[in-house]
């Protein structure tokens, strides 16, 4: 049960910086959208999701009043990195997960569209089982893209796995499958999707779907 | 890969009635929304979905010009029954399916909302694995309802499995689990969800998620 938005996670982050609550909230929301709201194991959410960022104010520095204060650049980067680390830990610990999957979506009309595409691909049972089997089944990736409810130009879509291009201009690339299969045999898999439409991008963190997931979750809990 | 909307299905239905194309299209769309657009095995759609209704016009009868012609009442009922039969056959033949699941949603604000709720529950991997394990895990059903993106009043939600009430007024019913588990041990399972909000209803036809599904779909196809 992991698809934060938030889900099944109690996250508490502390800083000694002296940052007012309204600014912390904005920083946290921005960072969460790039990390914990981009991780999914099975698409199922829970009711107990929490991500909390608290500032003790113990540090001494000039007052910070706005989330776009230039002094926050490093803080934002550190917060992004920390939350992405947490998101990756969640996926690595996914129920029955045998592969850690990163889906980079680029060239979307917006960051939101890129995230929607990435999550649609990451949550497709057919993509997840293909990844489990190490099968570079690009047709399943394109079918998941096409059903994501986001505007696409199929002729501009390209896909690569582990750096091996398997789809260009919306169609399969001859002779690419054997090398792609080799990449997918690894424990860590990267899928690159480019839509060729704009500057929107997102990185979705996910896992495969294994028989172990089904066994774990079909055990009685009532 | 079965979640018609339409998906992975070529359906051809013929009648000897003499009904113009525009009327046939309306009849077919109405009947498909209650049947083939309400079946899901894994939520994944394909690009080759087709449902076609053709009238040979061989039969002799008075002209039919409108889809609400009273003479069509029996025809509509027969078409509904036929398409629901086809939808059920799809779910029974689902990849790795070990249980045939019917989810009846009632008391929704509209039929569309009821269908959205039913599909959200039917596509939740956690609900599907619980059904596979015969586990009356009503918390997973409520979590899937809550994440469906449809307005709900949790205090009005009730759920029954195989006729055994397990949730009333949004909470679990003490002492109901053993009897519910007995119902879920069967090959055919019925889940009743009542939202207490309006007259909208839908019946969604589905299957469980088994290790067999994962094994089938992680076998290489490229």
Q: CB A214 to CB B44 under 8 A?
A: no
pLDDT-based confidence at A1, cuts 50/70/90?
very low
Residues of chain A positioned with their CB less than 8 A from the CB of B42: 125-126
Q: What digits encode the pLDDT tens for the residues B20-41?
A: 889 989 988 888 888 888 778 8
Q: Which range has the worst mean pLDDT, A85-89, A172-176, B46-50, B131-135?
A: B46-50
Q: CB B211 to CB A211 under 8 A?
A: yes
Residues of chain B positioned with their CB less than 8 A from the CB of A42: 125-126
* Residue A3 confidence (pLDDT): 59
CA distance A96 to chain B (A): 11
* Residue A52 confidence (pLDDT): 85
Residues of chain A positioned with their CB less than 8 A from the CB of B135: 218-222
Q: What digits encode the pLDDT tens for the residues A180-205?
A: 999 999 999 999 999 999 999 999 99
A-B interface: how many C-beta pairs under 8 angstroms? 117
Partner residue facing A126 (CB), from B130, B144, B217: B217
Q: Which range has the worst mean pLDDT, A10-19, B166-175, B182-191?
A: A10-19
Q: CB A214 to CB B209 under 8 A?
A: yes
* pLDDT mean over B67-85: 91
Sheet strands (E) in A23-179:
39-40, 50-55, 100-108, 158-161, 164-168, 171-172
Judged by a CB distance cut-off of 8 A, whether residue A43 touches chain B is yes
Whether B43 shows a pLDDT value over 90: the answer reads no
Residues of chain A positioned with their CB less than 8 A from the CB of B130: 217-218, 221
Q: How far apart are CA B197 and CA B170, in angstroms?
A: 13
Partner residue facing B210 (CB), from A135, A214, A222: A214
Q: What digits encode the pLDDT tens for the residues A119-133?
A: 999 999 999 999 999
Judged by a CB distance cut-off of 8 A, whether residue B181 touches chain A is yes
pLDDT-based confidence at A134, cuts 50/70/90?
very high
* pLDDT mean over A216-222: 83
Q: What digits encode the pLDDT tens for the residues A18-61?
A: 888 898 899 888 888 888 887 787 887 777 777 888 888 898 99
Q: C-alpha distances in angstroms, A63 versus A60, A188, A208, B144, B208? A: 9, 43, 46, 44, 56
Q: CB A125 to CB B125 under 8 A?
A: yes
Catalytic site residue from A8, A45, A98, A129: A8
Q: C-alpha distances in angstroms, B67 versus B20, B29, B60, B82? A: 10, 11, 18, 18
CA atoms within 13 A on the CB side of A16: 4
Q: Quick check: B101 and B171 in contact, CB under 8 A?
A: no
Q: State the average pLDDT for chain B.
A: 89
Judged by a CB distance cut-off of 8 A, whether residue A217 touches chain B is yes
Whether A7 shows a pLDDT value over 60: the answer reads no
Q: Quick check: A3 and A45 in contact, CB under 8 A?
A: yes
Judged by a CB distance cut-off of 8 A, whether residue B141 touches chain A is no
pLDDT-based confidence at B197, cuts 50/70/90?
very high
Q: Which residue has the higher pLDDT, B107 or B1?
A: B107
Q: Which range has the worst mean pLDDT, A82-86, B15-19, B46-50, B169-173?
A: B46-50
Q: Which residue has the higher pLDDT, B93 or B47?
A: B93
Q: What digits encode the pLDDT tens for the residues A148-181?
A: 999 999 999 999 999 999 999 988 999 999 999 9
Residues of chain B positioned with their CB less than 8 A from the CB of A140: 1, 44
Indicate whether this complex's ipTM tops 0.90. Answer: no
Q: C-alpha distances in angstroms, A133 versus A1, A2, A99, A207? A: 22, 21, 10, 12
Could you confirm whether A8 is annotated as catalytic? Answer: yes
pLDDT-based confidence at A115, cuts 50/70/90?
very high
State the pTM of this model: 0.83
CA distance B150 to chain A (A): 15
Which residue reads 């990195």 in tokens? Answer: A81
Judged by a CB distance cut-off of 8 A, whether residue A178 touches chain B is no
* CA–CA–CA angle B92, B28, A152 (5° rounding): 80
**Which residues, 6+ apart, have CB-to-CB distance to B197 below 8 Å?**
B107, B108, B109, B151, B152, B153, B156
CA distance B5 to chain A (A): 10
Element (H, E) at A188: strand A188-194
* Residue B1 confidence (pLDDT): 45
* pLDDT mean over B106-119: 95
**Which residues, 6+ apart, have CB-to-CB distance to A177 below 8 Å?**
A136, A166, B222
Q: What digits encode the pLDDT tens for the residues B143-178?
A: 999 989 999 999 999 999 999 999 999 889 999 999
Residues of chain B positioned with their CB less than 8 A from the CB of A217: 125-126, 129-130, 133
Instruction: Give the rounded distance of the alpha carbon of B99 from its chain centre.
Output: 14
* Residue B195 confidence (pLDDT): 97
Q: Which range has the worst mean pLDDT, A126-140, B2-16, B18-32, B179-193?
A: B2-16
């Amino acid at each position: 049960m992991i698809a934060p938005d938030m889900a099944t996670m109690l996250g508490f982050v502390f800083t000694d910086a002296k940052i007012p609550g309204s600014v912390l909230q904005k920083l946290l929301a921005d960072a969460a959208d790039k990390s914990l709201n981009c991780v999914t194991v099975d698409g199922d959410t829970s009711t107990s999701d929490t991500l909390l960022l608290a500032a003790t104010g113990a540090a001494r520095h000039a007052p910070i009043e706005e989330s776009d204060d230039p002094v926050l650049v490093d803080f934002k980067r550190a917060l992004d990195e920390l939350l992405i680390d947490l998101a990756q830990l969640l996926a690595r610990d996914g129920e029955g997960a045998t592969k850690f999957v990163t889906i980079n979506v680029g060239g979307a009309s917006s960051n939101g569209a890129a995230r929607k595409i990435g999550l649609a691909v990451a949550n497709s049972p057919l993509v997840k089982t293909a990844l489990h089997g190490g099968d570079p089944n690009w047709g399943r990736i394109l079918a998941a893209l096409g059903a994501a409810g986001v505007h696409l130009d199929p002729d501009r879509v390209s896909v690569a796995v582990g750096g091996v291009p398997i789809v260009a201009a919306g169609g399969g690339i001859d002779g690419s499958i054997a090398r792609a299969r080799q990449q997918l045999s690894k424990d860590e898999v990267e899928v690159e999707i480019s839509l060729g439409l704009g500057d929107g991008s997102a990185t979705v963190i996910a896992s495969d779907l294994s028989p172990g997931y089904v066994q774990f979750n079909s055990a009685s809990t009532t």
